[in-house]
Structure formats: structure tokens, C-alpha cells
Structure 1
Amino acid sequence: MARPLDHAKRAELLAGVVAYIADHGLAELSLRPLAAELGTSSRMLIHYFGTKEELLVQALATQRPDIAALFAEVTDAETLRARLTAFFEANADGRGSASVRVLLQVLGAACAPAGPYARYAHDAIAVFVTALAAALDRIDAIDDPEAVATLLISGLRGIIQDRLITGDAERTTRAARRLIEQNIR
């Protein structure tokens, strides 16, 4: 008979995964060193999560911001620009960088044919596009809200990645603000 899951232990394990991957990277992720760092065994990680990929997907899900709430009730361009700017700053300045670093690695891995993270990456992008497009649609001054949402999301993601790689806060902040200002008038 299978041992029942200890939900508190499972939550504790998930809390440590994103920080571990941010420090060690996704490409070389191995369950044994991860398990040792988390104070458990690779066998127990498989017991709790099934696969290494599922472990990562579930860990990322615990870190996902509530995008729908971020854009809820936005009805004017000024508020939307402010929320997007705040989102960029919160995720580019280090406060959210551990989960952002991991998410960027997962998105890159999802580009591989039959990548294990393709469904997660697709869903993460779709949630963001849908919520932002709905806010843009409420503004009424935006032609093709879905395309503009895609442009903003992809552009900001690229600028955040640039910031994490180069550390150039001044240039990337200017670029993010310009992207937002030019697309939400």
C-alpha cells in the first residue's frame, strides 16, 4: 500500500525548488543533488511529484502571480501603464528574480521539440495574454488588444531577461517604459 502524501512536507519541498534552480540552473538539474539540498531523497521527490518535470511545474505554479487580479478592473490607460511598470520593476529588480530566472529557463526549454515544459509555458503565456488583452479591450483605444498584449508580454519578458543577464538597470528601465508608453496611449 502506497504511503499517503504529507501535504505539509510537499509544500515545504516546493518552496525550496525554485530557489535551488535559480542558483544551480535548469539545464543540469538532477534529482539527487536537489533532494540532498532539500533534506530528502530523490525517491521521495518521485513519490511526491512523479517526475522531475512535474516537480518543477508544480513549484513554478506556487510562484505564479495572480495576473488576472493585476489587470482586474483596469479601465484606463494610465492605470494599465502604472500596473505594467510596477510588474516590470517588481520582476526585474531582484525581488522576484528567483522565480523569474527559473521561468525564463523553463520558457527556453519549452522551445525544444517535445519539451517537457511546453504545456506549462503555453498556459503561462496564455493566462498573461488573456488577462492583459481583456484590460486593453476595456480601454477601447487599443486596436487588436491580443496583438498588443503579446507585444507587451514578449517585449517585457525580453527586457527582464536582458536586465538579469547584463545588470543594466538604467537602460532596461528606459526600454520597458518606452515599450509600455508606445503601446498604451
Structure 2
Amino acid sequence: MTTQPKDRDGRATRWEHRRPTLLAAATEYVLDNGVANLTLRPLAAGIGVTIATVVRQFGSKEQLIEEVTRGINREIVENLHDDPELAAGPPVQTLRLLWRRWLTPAEARKFALMFELYGLALRDPEKYRWFTDSVVRDWGLALIEDALIDSGIESGQAEIVGTLTLALLRGLQLDHAATHDTARIDAAFEMAVALLAPTVGPPEPTPTY
């Protein structure tokens, strides 16, 4: 977990009421610029504060990346679980709604960050254990699994089907992030939904986008 640096001179405390604003600005910077080549001095300049302020509030670069990523993850999870539209429909409808939302520019850049962290975690798994321990279940599997269970699928089978479904979605998301070939990838998504439909439930009518 992220720990905050000690406040030896009171300056960190003076920033306490402004910290959510600082974190929001840092999050936007990370989403715009990624983390592979991130350093704190350009980040501080980009959000209009001194590097000393960034260090006092977040500690190291790694601590900042973890706090930003956990915040994004928390926002995604809260938005998904608080959305009555996602909770109301059958699994296939949930998949279609998730797919369209995850391709919007605002959401797509969050998942671009996720894919970047995946790559870093492959090279340094212990350093990014906080990410890999939560990314699959928290960033989609739990919602898909819940929809499957609600449709009558046994929980153990729902976990397996949900894992396969999420793997298909993530692969298509990664393809889209790399190529932006929306027509081809949407067609592949609809084929995947048709193949999954006998397992997850009757398909909804194919929407017109």
C-alpha cells in the first residue's frame, strides 16, 4: 500500500486540503503521458507545482503510480457497480454495454494505462504485485461473473466463463488500442458474443451503432 512521507516541517500538512486536486491533476498527467518514462520533475512542472510538493505528497514515483492507478481502479469499480443499466440486463447485454463504454476515449486511455502496467509487471512482477493481484478481478471479472450468476449459472462455472469472456474483451481492447480499427474489431466482438451466447444466455438483438 502507498504510504505518505513524514511531514517534518509542516509543509505537507498545509497541502492537505488541496491534495485531492493535486491527485486529480497527477492522474490526468499520467493518463496523458503514461508511466514507462515517467519522472517526477516533468510531472510537477506539468501540473504547476514544485517537485518538492510532489515528493511530500506522494513520496516516490512508484508510490505515485500506485496511488493514481488505485484511484482509477476504484472509480471504474464504483461506476460499474452503481450503474443500474448494467445491473438490470442479461449477461450479453452487460457485455455489449461494457464494450461500448470501454471504447470511449475517456475509458480507453484508462485501459491503455492498464496495458502499459501489464507490460511493466511482466518484467518486474514483484514491484507491480499490487497491480497484478487486483487487475483481473477488480477491472471487469467481478461484474461479468455477477451477471452470469444472476442469470442462473453456478458460481464456479461463472468464474470460468467470466475469465474466458474477459480474456476475449481484453484481447480486443488491446487490438483496438494498437490499431483503432473499430469496424473490424466490432465485428470480431459480435462474433465472440454469438459464440458465447449459448453459454451466457440468449443474445440481445444486435445494436446499430
Instruction: From 158, 178, 185, give the equivalent of 2:191.
Output: 178
Q: Which has the larger radius of gyration?
A: 2
State the partner residue of 2:119.
108
Q: Does 1:37 align with 2:46?
A: yes
**Alpha-carbon separation, structure 1, partners of 2:18 and 2:186:** 39
The letter of the residue matching 1:138 is: D
112-121 vs 148-157, greater mean Cα deviation: 112-121
Give the Cα separation in 2 of the matches to 1:70 and 1:181. 25
CA distance in 2, matches of 1:71, 1:126: 20
1:25 maps to a residue whose letter is G
Match of 1:62 among 71, 77, 81: 71
Q: Percent identity?
A: 21
Mean Cα displacement is larger for which, 148-157 or 19-28? 19-28
Is the aligned partner of 1:96 residue 2:107? yes
Which of residues 1, 18, 23 is equivalent to 1:14? 23
SS of the residue 2:38 aligns to: coil
The aligned counterpart of 1:153 is: 166
Structure 1's consecutive aligned runs of 4 or more residues displaced over 6 angstroms after TM superposition are: none
Give the TM-score of the pair, scaled to structure 2.
Answer: 0.74
* Count of aligned positions: 183
Write the letter of the residue equivalent to 2:25. Answer: G
RMSD between aligned alpha carbons? 2.6
Alignment counterpart, residue 97 of structure 2, candidates 86, 90, 100 = 86
Offset of 1:106 from its aligned partner?
1.4
Report how far residue 110 of structure 1 moved. Answer: 1.9
Answer whether contact 2:86 2:94 (CA < 8 A) is retained. Answer: no
> How has the CA–CA distance of structure 1 residues 7 and 43 changed in structure 2, closer, same or farther, with 3 Å as cutoff?
same
Q: Tell me how far 1:171 sits from its aligned partner.
A: 1.1
Unaligned runs of 5+ in 2: 1-7, 202-209
